[in-house]
Amino acid sequence: MRRPQLALSLTAAFAVLLPAPLALASDGVLEINQVCAVQTGCFVGDTAGFPVTVTQGGSYRLTGNLDLSALPATHGIVLNARHVTLDLAGFEIVGASTCTGSGSSLSCTGGGGEGISLQATALGATVLNGTVRNMGGNGVGGFAEMVRIEGITAMHNGADGISGQVESIIRNSMSRENQNDGFDVDGGTVIENCTAFGNGSDGIELDGQGAVVRGSTTRGNGGAGINAVGRSTVSDVVSRDNAAEGVLLGDDSIAERVVAIGNTGEGIEAGLGSVVRGSVSAGNGSIGIVASFGSGIHTSTGRANASVGIVGGKSSVVGNSAANNGFHGISGNGVVAFNTSSENAPHGIIGGGVIIGNAALSNDADGINASAAVIVNNLAHGNGAGNFDAGIDIGSGGLVKGNTANFNTGDGIDCNTGGDVAIRENEVNGNTLVSVNGCTDLGGNACNGVASCP
């Protein structure tokens, strides 16, 4: 008669020792919801209470919202295993942070808890399809490698929206009005078809080397639209109305088909040895496009910027357009070739080096203003608002050859220094003052229809 009692006792003991029952969908995906998170733990390795901790690879799915509004310093879900797929299935992870304002005026309460925390052990994790908002820390954070994040909205979080991923892919996601950066990722990560709006610092920050941003938009952020510390590639991007630079790139970077409009700082700024190609920078509060020594700025436009439209330094500035800028159209001391610079204040093109095949039209002061330069086959037409403005003004040492300087309000060609600039085979017509001033004539010049220049 004692055996049934012993059997009942053993059964009760095993019931205590067994883990929480698995919430298993018919397709084999493990389920996560508020009830199992708080009351029992959702699967093996997880205990009751937040965070929900994933310790085994596999597929997991939210079946309802997770509410952490009473837990500002606690993570929502922690991924602590390789090759986990977490599908939010359109649901939300919601914390306790509150935010007011947007961009540089944004203020959020903190707390430190992340909506989804990817530990370094979460190699190859995938996070899909949902919203993480109002967390005290990052919306999605951690330093896992080879992560895929897709279809995630991170908003009103107390730190970054999506942060810390290494050599990962983030697609079709939005990061909006988070206290720090919208996206803050490490080297080798690709951000594609994403939006960063109204974040308190940078829209997208790229740390390390080899990051890529393409097909994305940044707008109204409190720092730069895109801020890349190291070598990066940015293409098919729109960056506008940010409180610092539109796009800020490190050395050896590429900016291609970028549109930067209405940013407080430079539209596009790139470091040493970089390439800016096929881009437009307009209406920015400083320089439109600037690249450091050894770079190339090609087939791009700088228009209506508060400072210089395009600045190349000792670089190649080729095939660009600069118009209506507040402090020179184009500045360069390397190769400045086949550009059009018009209606800028004051000068159209300024610098040195080789200046060839450009058109400088209707600028407020000199069409081309240079020193120690070779100036060949350019058109300077209709420049100047006063008697001292020339079509071509060269300060010292150089050659001016094969240019056309017509109808400028000062001299056609002004060499200034009285003899150390040579001119040859230029055509100079209809300028208000003298055609040629202070130059050494090597012959072949024509002034006002006469085959010589007085």
pLDDT tens-place string over residues 154-213 = 999 999 999 988 899 999 999 999 999 999 998 899 999 999 999 999 999 999 899 999
- Residue 265 has which token pair? 């700082």
Say what the pLDDT of residue 144 is: 93
Say what the pLDDT of residue 23 is: 57
Specify if 174 maps to a domain.
yes
pLDDT at 13 over 50: no
Mean pLDDT of 293-307: 97
Entry pTM: 0.92
Q: Which is more confidently placed, 182 or 398?
A: 182
Mean pLDDT of 342-368: 97
220 with 196: CB under 8 angstroms? no
- Residue 393 has which token pair? 């003004």
How far is Cα 295 from Cα 273, in angstroms, rounded to an integer? 4
How far is Cα 352 from Cα 45, in angstroms, rounded to an integer? 69
- Residue 14 has which token pair? 């095993």
Specify if 427 maps to a domain.
no
Read off the pLDDT band of 386 (50, 70, 90).
Answer: confident
pLDDT at 6 over 70: no
Say what the pLDDT of residue 25 is: 60
- Note the Cα 266 to chain centre separation in Å: 11
Specify if 306 maps to a domain.
no
Out of 59-63, 111-115, 296-300, 372-376, pick the least confident.
111-115
Specify if 78 maps to a domain.
yes
Say what the pLDDT of residue 164 is: 82
Chain mean pLDDT for the chain: 92
Specify if 425 maps to a domain.
no
How far is Cα 353 from Cα 394, in angstroms, rounded to an integer? 12
Return all residues near 73 (Cβ < 8 A) that are at least 6 apart.
Answer: 111, 112, 113, 136
Say what the pLDDT of residue 72 is: 87
316 with 334: CB under 8 angstroms? yes
What is the domain count for the chain? 1
Using alpha carbons only, what angle is made at residue 178 by residues 172 and 180, rounded to the nearest 5 degrees?
110
- Residue 69 has which token pair? 């509004």
Q: Is 346 helix (H, G, I), strand (E, B) or coil?
A: coil
Q: Which is more confidently placed, 453 or 74?
A: 74
Return all residues near 352 (Cβ < 8 A) that are at least 6 apart.
Answer: 333, 370, 371, 372, 373
How far is Cα 394 from Cα 373, in angstroms, rounded to an integer? 8
pLDDT at 22 over 80: no
| Percent of the chain with pLDDT strictly greater than 70 | 93
For 17, the enclosing helix (H) or strand (E) is helix 2-17
50 with 75: CB under 8 angstroms? yes
Q: Which is more confidently placed, 395 or 156?
A: 156
Specify if 348 maps to a domain.
no
Burial (CB < 10 A; 0-12, 13-18, 19+), residue 69, is exposed
Say what the pLDDT of residue 68 is: 96
Q: Is the bond leading into 21 cis (omega within 30 degrees of zero)?
A: no
How far is Cα 88 from Cα 76, in angstroms, rounded to an integer? 12
Out of 129-143, 203-217, 336-350, 404-418, pick the least confident.
404-418
Out of 75-89, 254-268, 319-333, 386-400, pick the least confident.
386-400
Nearest to 35 by CA among 60, 57, 19, 52: 52
| Percent of the chain with pLDDT strictly greater than 90 | 84
Out of 121-125, 167-171, 277-281, 387-391, pick the least confident.
387-391
pLDDT at 32 over 70: yes
Say what the pLDDT of residue 12 is: 39
Domain that holds residue 35: 19-180
Specify if 193 maps to a domain.
no
Which whole-number Å values give the CA distances from 36 to 24, 64, 79, in the listed order? 12, 11, 17
Read off the pLDDT band of 15 (50, 70, 90).
Answer: very low
Specify if 59 maps to a domain.
yes
Mean pLDDT of 37-53: 97
pLDDT at 419 over 80: no
144 with 79: CB under 8 angstroms? yes
Say what the pLDDT of residue 137 is: 95
